[in-house]
Amino acid sequence: MIAQSMQAGAAMNQIQTKPVLLIALGGNALIRKGQVGTVAEQFANLRLPVRQIAGLSLDHRLIITHGNGPQVGHLLLQQECCDQGVKLPLEILVAQTQGQIGYMIESTLDSALMELGIHDEKPFVSLLSYVVVDRNDPAFREPTKPIGPIYDQSQAARLPFPVRKTARGYRRVVASPKPITIVEKREIARLIAMDFIVICCGGGGIPVIRDGRAFAGVDAVIDKDLASARLALEVGVDLFVIATDVAGTAVHYGTDRERFLDRLSPAEARRLLLQGEFPPGSMGPKIEAAVEFVEASGKRAVITGIDAIEAAVRGKAGTEVAATRA
């Protein structure tokens, strides 16, 4: 008995010394540029990041978060094509995509762990996650986040919600309020302490407003990078990885003066953000999320390509945001 509990204690100590990683998967983990995004394509695409994550799980504890933009877009389009008089609000669609994408990541992870022969000792779970936002967030007065299908001008004029002209046509815009706290942070921390791989905060989380002890869903979307930074701080992760469809961050991006950045201090990152190097809706929130995490924790964040997650964790790829060493 004593020997057994000592063994269990030793195993627990081993778990507690494994660093905790939070890996935020961008949209390209599921759908690549130019694809329509069939389920077969999404499963095939997931193999690249998920194999690396399975490998990392040997010596790290892991939290996986993910985007859901195109998946919510598909659901919105399906609702419009077949209106049976039951319109599902955005909070429900976000919940649906957490289930859908959680399932896809889980089953891909299952195979990847099996290939490594560590399937039995590696539990994982996906968790529906709510994220609290402030009902007085200025974002509710001026919705800016385009979602769902593209409309022409005459369709747009008849829509019952705010729309905005984008480069691709008219689209519905919704509020994108700042995440305040992840409702399930304690559950996630407990699962991590037991070395579960936790898939959570999908699509930035189901946005809710707190009313005393109760929560009510709202029609909004939360940026998944900003929600991931909140979660990383609330759970106390050691390294925050943002995986996307470029190798990292550059200045003068897309011009002939483009220069890749291996390393950025939070102060430099803020300065470049103010200079407009990182646009809202793409690189901007990634930099903001990395800076928020690094400033509050004193730890590292790295923005990297989906193919270089492992290399980035080992400090060999991506743009690292970290306080400059004294």
CA-CA distance, 179 to 195, in Å (whole number)? Answer: 26
CA-CA distance, 98 to 127, in Å (whole number)? Answer: 8
Which residue in 55, 68, 145, 205 is the catalytic one?
145
Tokens of 201: 């905060």
Minimum separation from the CB atom of position 132 to ligand ADP (A):
22
Q: Is there a catalytic annotation at residue 28?
A: yes
CB 108 within 8 A of CB 39: no
Q: Is there a catalytic annotation at residue 145?
A: yes
Closer of 192 and 294 to ligand ADP (Cβ): 294
Residue 315 engages ligand ADP in binding (rule: CB under 6 A): no
Q: Is there a catalytic annotation at residue 281?
A: no
Residue 206 has φ and ψ, to the nearest 5°, of: -80, 115
Minimum separation from the CB atom of position 174 to ligand ADP (A):
16
Q: Of 197, 69, 193, nearest to 127 (Cα)?
A: 197
Element (H, E) at 208: strand 206-211
From candidates 26, 55, 179, 305, binder to ligand ADP by CB under 6 A: 26
Residue at 66: amino acid letter:
H
Minimum separation from the CB atom of position 226 to ligand ADP (A):
11
Q: Is there a catalytic annotation at residue 122?
A: no
From candidates 45, 52, 108, 244, binder to ligand ADP by CB under 6 A: 244
CB 230 within 8 A of CB 204: no
Which residue in 26, 27, 148, 318 is the catalytic one?
27
Which residue in 102, 286, 299, 318 is the catalytic one?
286
Region 41-80 residues binding ligand ADP, contact defined as CB under 6 A: 67
Work out the burial of residue 177: count CB atoms within 10 Å of its CB; fewer than 13 is exposed, 13-18 middle, 19 or more buried: buried
Binding pattern for the stretch 270-309 against ligand ADP, x by CB under 6 A and - elsewhere? -------xxx--xx--------------------------
Which residue in 202, 203, 204, 224 is the catalytic one?
224
Q: Of 159, 169, 123, 318, nearest to 240 (Cα)?
A: 318
Tokens of 241: 């990885």
Q: Is there a catalytic annotation at residue 165?
A: no
Residues near ligand ADP (CB under 6 A) are: 26-28, 67, 244-246, 249-250, 253, 277-279, 282-283
Q: Could you give the residue numbers annotated as active site?
A: 27-28, 145, 224, 286
